[in-house]
Amino acid sequence: MSGRRIAELGEFELIELITAGLGRGDQVLIGAGDDAAVLRLRGDLAVSTDTMVENVHFRRDWSSANDVGRKAVAACVADAEAMGAVGVGVVVALSVPGELEVDWFTEFAAGVREECDNAGVSLVGGDLTRAEQIVITVTVLADLAGREPLRRKGAQVGDQVAFCGRLGWAAAGLAVLTRGFRSPRAVVVAQRVPEPPYGQGVVAAQAGAHSLIDVSDGLLADLGHIAAASAVQIELDSAAFEIAEPQQAVAAALGGGNPLVYQLTGGEDHALVGTFPPGRVPSGWTVVGRVAAGPAQVLVDGAAPDFGAAGWEHFGTAR
């Protein structure tokens, strides 16, 4: 297929490239190829949708097509994890320019399938359209399997705040890439493909978590959502965060700022953070603070953090 362009193939031929030989889990009654897919769930359905746009959420000179496919699936499935649900299937809507190389398309599809395997979900359908720019929307269908969903609004005074997964790796990677570098490799790779802690949403639910969210806007911003929804104050201890070596290296190389900023404000790693009754934090999770009575805000070492924007907004002039 080398060198061929999307416009040279028909829509159905392209869809066949994605769906040929597609495996499916035992909860998938009908996969891709009919008007709709059909899934059999054990409990309530959790559903979330997530869009990635070329040159807004990814750049083709920074990320391979495989990376982009993996990231699109990972970011979306993380939202289901954050409800304590188990991802069952995803549908992927892809818009691409007609002059795009077919190789990009097939590598993207391979990335989607790889990450579906990692996350334990099935690719069950999608749509393919032409656009001036690559736009990818993934929707995850997840199964609460008889459990109650974990909300943002359930945090209670006295809870411990804990996270699982990586914080600030993608942000450190973005800082490096933005300045034209490609190392430290570990953070660059993390920016290209997040590694959400698949399965830990259910672990949190089974441990009795009171609230949960995935870190997509940055820890402070996302804990701010829990604080607002639960009407509580969240207090973090900076000493509880372990700064990884590559984050130290990036901060030093790029001007000596405090590398904690990456962990507190960086999104896109899709860690899970939540609040637990004291003593109920699962193993593998790191306690970084507590829930207290007070105004709906997030404090670090007892004070409002004073470094720049606390999160990522796509619109607005603040950024």
Looking at residue 32, the DSSP 8-state letter turns out to be B
> At closest approach, how far in Å is the CB of 112 from a copy of itself?
13
Using CB under 8 A as the binding rule, whether residue 37 contacts a copy of itself is answered as: yes
- Taking residues 41 to 60 in sequence order and writing x for each that binds a copy of itself by CB under 8 A, - otherwise, the string is x--xxxxxxxxxx--xx---
Using CB under 8 A as the binding rule, whether residue 98 contacts a copy of itself is answered as: yes
Using CB under 8 A as the binding rule, whether residue 79 contacts a copy of itself is answered as: yes
Please compute, for residue 268, the number of CA atoms within 13 A of its CA located in the half-sphere on the CB side.
29
Q: Which pair of tokens denotes residue 135?
A: 């736009």
Confirm if 255 and 179 have CB atoms less than 8 A apart: no
Q: State phi, psi for 15 to the nearest 5 degrees.
A: -65, -35
Strand partners, 48: 140
- CA angle, residues 39, 44, 47, in degrees to nearest 5: 70
Nearer Cβ to a copy of itself (38/231): 38
Instruction: Give the one residue of 213, 232, 273, 310 binding a copy of itself; rule: CB under 8 A.
Output: 213
Of 74-82, 115-123, 169-177, 294-302, the segment contacting a copy of itself by CB under 8 A is: 74-82
| Entry field: residues in the chain | 319
- CA angle, residues 36, 98, 111, in degrees to nearest 5: 60
* Binding residues among 222-241 for a copy of itself as defined by CB under 8 A: 229
* Binding residues among 183-212 for a copy of itself as defined by CB under 8 A: 212
Nearer Cβ to a copy of itself (65/80): 80
Using CB under 8 A as the binding rule, whether residue 72 contacts a copy of itself is answered as: no
Largest Cα–Cα separation, the chain: 62
Nearer Cβ to a copy of itself (203/251): 203
